[in-house]
Chains A and B, each alone.
Chain A
């Protein structure tokens, strides 16, 4: 299965992936409308310091603790993609308690959100990858 990977050597730490992610998942077709003057809730996050940066998003583990620990059954694996039903999620955040990578966060409605590889939104392919100016984030099989 194709997943999102980051190459630390190429990541500039520009945070564009975070904005592209937030926009792709906003449900809106205008980036300014979606993001301007708003707190963004990206599902990918840049970590690092002034010298080294890299983006972290869901690893889509084959043996995911988040899915196994979810108290509602909102998290499931669909064709290898770890998917969340935000309608079912009550925001208990047990998934955040168990994700070893820190890849699940709370959205603006206080329920859990995570990278679903843009398969459920209109981007259709990971927006973080598509918009990465230095090709530091890739979508591939490994």
Chain B
């Protein structure tokens, strides 16, 4: 009987469990869960603050998930070291577990730059886990002033989650635009204006130089008063344990399309990995939830002996703020990179489609995001745009832009 050990208990781990069980019903699965929580959806922590969900509904899988999949979960235990020769994982409670196949799904951790005076701040938090959200919840009230350092996905979702519950939110970022990982300048401006309209204040191209208790002295010379400080500068893949045993790493643990690391019998998936972005043909850390699941599932199948490849991963994001939705996928190439960009713009709406070498490589949409998956699928399949009515699909995603024959295939029937 194969012994599977999974380090981590989030999305990639859940995928891995389901992957293993789709092939091997009997093997022994042990999950090492640093967090004392049943598998839950991390991105929901802002919705929790906003009261759009609760602890029960945040569970990523039904209550009987581990039981049904016959898994042993060790809660509140961290793996400290991997011994790849003797196939063992050492735990912080002094115990050790042996494995035949190991999955590293250690995720990422908030990156906190060495800000001057950070130790003088009483209420400072990261925004990554449910415990962070619960701790923040305890420290805020309707008179709170919140400073969020970082205008990325995490920082802004946190701002959305808190806005109705506090008096004031200021968000600063060293970058000159919001959501710089998914938006270009033009798109970022639209979202920023929307967020400002809702009451969030921004200090962009600016960051804290020094914290003094409840005051941040900014690089611009401005000062910001706050009661609660949220640090959402960025995240770093947790690769140390892998690196220590000479598994190949870069910014993440390097994995192939089977999610296999450079070490035999050791796999990795999720935010801790660096893997192929099919849209740009480059290795990247793409720390997004759907990919973590897809990687985990794929890894699990391979660990259990099935040959399975996840070889068309692309970066993609769907995110909304106060009712205004944004989606992005793939890679953006402008003219200097040999690409072409089609733009459609209106009030609180923008669509950019990036085309290179006859295929759609990426898009950004803010506003009407309906049927955007049709675009995503064009990217993922590298569909030759000459085979479809691109003029039509540019305007609005529709299966009508495909040939009658292909449409018939897609809809699974006689045409």
On A, residues with C-beta under 8 Å from B are 3, 5-9, 47-49, 52, 54, 56, 59, 65, 68-73, 87-88, 90-102, 104-106, 110, 142
Contacts and interface: CB of A to CB of B under 8 A. Distances in A.
Instruction: Categorize the interface residue count of chain B.
Output: 35 or more
Interface string B364-408: 000001111110110000000000000000000111100010011
B323 interface: yes
Nearest to A3: B412
Contacts of A104: 373
A100 B373 contact: yes
> Looking at chain A's contact residues, is the secondary structure mostly helix, strand, loop, or mixed?
loop
B327 interface: yes
Given A3-B412, A101-B399, A102-B398, A73 B41 contact: yes
B169 interface: no
A70 B294 CA distance: 11
B414 A93 contact: no
B310 to A, nearest CB: 10
CB-based closest 6 A-B pairs: A102-B371, A69-B290, A100-B377, A99-B373, A5-B413, A97-B318
Interface in B17-63: 41, 43-44, 47, 52-53, 57-62
Contact of A47 (B290, B317, B319, B399): B399
A39 B95 CA distance: 60
B323 A98 contact: no
B316 A101 contact: no
Given A71-B43, A96-B370, A100-B373, 5 more contacts: A8-B408, A71-B289, A90-B53, A92-B43, A142-B413
Given A72-B57, A101-B410, A90 B52 contact: yes
B370 to A, nearest CB: 6
Contacts of B60: 72-73
A47 B327 contact: no
29 contacts: A5-B411, A5-B414, A6-B413, A8-B404, A8-B415, A9-B415, A47-B400, A48-B400, A54-B411, A68-B294, A71-B44, A88-B53, A90-B52, A90-B53, A92-B318, A92-B320, A93-B318, A93-B325, A96-B318, A96-B369, A96-B371, A96-B372, A97-B316, A97-B369, A97-B376, A98-B376, A100-B410, A101-B399, A101-B411
B16 interface: no
Interface in B252-308: 289-290, 293-294, 297
Contacts of B370: 96, 102, 105-106
B372 A97 contact: yes
A72 B60 CA distance: 5
